[in-house]
Amino acid sequence: MGSDEKIVILGAGFAALTAVKTLRKKRFSGSITMVASRPIFSYLPSTIWIPSGLRSREDLEIPLENFFARFNVRFFQGSVTGLDAESRQVNTDQCALPYDRLLIASGASFIKKLPGIKEHAIIPCDGIHAGEQIRDRIAAMDGGSIAMGFGGNPKEPAGMRGGPVFEFLYGIDTLLRKQGRRDRFKITFFSPAPEPGKKLGPKAAGGLLREMKKRGIETHLGHKMKGFTENSVITEGGEIESNLTLFMPGLTGSVWLSESGLPLSPGGFVVADKGGRVPGFNNVYVAGDSGSFPGPEWMPKQAHMADLQAAAAVKNMLSDMTGSPENHHFKVELICIVDSVNSGVLVYRDMKRAIIFKTRLFHWAKLLFEWIYLRGVR
């Protein structure tokens, strides 16, 4: 499909890469510009393996030069500061970039409002450096208390990411057992939700809590968060002793969106339909964690969902170019493997069913998927 239109994609994560591949697969031969702070793809799902030494920064940060060359993509290094939708320009800290079609795939940001969160808690999915911090802190500890938990966005149920916390929780427990020093550590899982993990399916929450009990992991559930200190997690239900705190706060949209003029959800994300179109802006689309989409409360913000949304948004974008708009909708589907370094639990959920299944083979399946995906990026 030939076109003189200029497409600008914000971000260099899962949704952005899938959008590029879908555009070229659908024979779009026009200009594609990707905007990001670095020409690097970070495979964040595998940061869970950094504390155990199974993965390192070098394994998970993939330079994108080859990807850009293969798919004929222009890379623009910069940070987005705003949007002028009327003149069709993206404002960055470098200059303004014109576009004909814009795909927002720049991810979400963490809500860091709780007192002490920046000083006394590590956010596990805040980048490769977070996994390295966790690795180094655990290696330096002779024993003590470790507290891990997650929160949500009170204005938007979908604005949360709890799955990786369970993986860090079980992975660190497994690591300490392999090292023969688990008995020197007290591990506590905490969450303001009384049934954490419920998004994974009706049976998942109970299964996750049973696994914690089996591993000797204590729980502190159903109490609103108040803040963090150097040696504790403070909740309305009391304090949790903690020498190392891992906390995944709720998600919201990027800061620049508040001045973009785009329609935003109560939780701060770009409002979109089931095909990634932004209402009122016929040349702006969104995919991945940046968007607020119609669907069930359990609809995940995860890589697989971002891929599905990006593919649908691109198909709609291309149909809009022809002047004969089609309605491509993404499937709402949750697929993940909750890994514990030497085993894994497959969790699948769609609009009709929820399945959970555990076997050691799923650990290797997760490794295989990583290898296949990164091979395609490299």
CATH code of residue 262: 3.50.50.60
What are the φ/ψ torsions at residue 257 (nearest 5 degrees)? -65, -30
Same domain, 41 and 165: no
Asked whether residue 1 is assigned to any structural domain, the reply reads no
Same domain, 190 and 277: no
Same domain, 116 and 241: yes
Same domain, 308 and 183: no
Asked whether residue 366 is assigned to any structural domain, the reply reads no
The reported pLDDT for the residue numbered 1 is: 58
The reported pLDDT for the residue numbered 373 is: 86
| Separation of alpha carbons 82 and 93, rounded Å | 9
Same domain, 89 and 126: no
pTM of the predicted structure, to 2 decimals: 0.91
63-76 per-position pLDDT tens digit: 999 999 999 999 99
Confidence of residue 225 (pLDDT cuts 50, 70, 90): very high
Same domain, 266 and 195: no
90-117 per-position pLDDT tens digit: 999 988 899 999 999 999 999 999 999 9
265-306 per-position pLDDT tens digit: 999 999 999 999 999 998 999 999 999 999 988 888 889 999
Give the residue from 322, 348, 367 where a domain finishes.
322
Residue 110's H or E segment, with its range, is strand 109-110
Which domain covers residue 43, as residue numbers?
A: 6-108+253-322
Residue 83's H or E segment, with its range, is strand 80-84
Residue type, 242: S
12-41 per-position pLDDT tens digit: 999 999 999 999 999 999 999 999 999 999
Question: Residue 308: how many CB atoms within 10 A of its CB?
Answer: 20
The reported pLDDT for the residue numbered 350 is: 84
Q: Is the pLDDT of residue 62 over 60?
A: yes
Asked whether residue 72 is assigned to any structural domain, the reply reads yes
By CB atoms closer than 10 A (0-12, 13-18, 19+), residue 264 is middle
Give the residue from 280, 307, 322 where a domain finishes.
322
Asked whether residue 215 is assigned to any structural domain, the reply reads yes
| Helix 163-178 vs helix 128-140: crossing angle, to nearest 10 | 30
Q: How far is CA 331 from CA 19, 106, 176, in A?
A: 16, 21, 39
Asked whether residue 360 is assigned to any structural domain, the reply reads no
Confidence of residue 258 (pLDDT cuts 50, 70, 90): confident
Same domain, 228 and 280: no
Same domain, 104 and 118: no
The total domain count for the chain is 2
Whole-number average pLDDT of the chain: 91
Share of the chain above pLDDT 90, in %: 70
331-368 per-position pLDDT tens digit: 999 888 888 888 888 888 888 887 887 888 888 888 88
Q: How many CA atoms lie within 13 A of 284 on its CB side?
A: 24
Rg, C-alpha atoms of the chain: 21
Confidence of residue 2 (pLDDT cuts 50, 70, 90): low
Asked whether residue 358 is assigned to any structural domain, the reply reads no
Are residues 123 and 333 in contact, defined by beta-carbon separation less than 8 angstroms? no
Same domain, 127 and 101: no
Same domain, 103 and 119: no
Asked whether residue 124 is assigned to any structural domain, the reply reads yes
Give the residue from 299, 322, 345 where a domain finishes.
322
Same domain, 147 and 261: no
Asked whether residue 24 is assigned to any structural domain, the reply reads yes
Same domain, 200 and 271: no
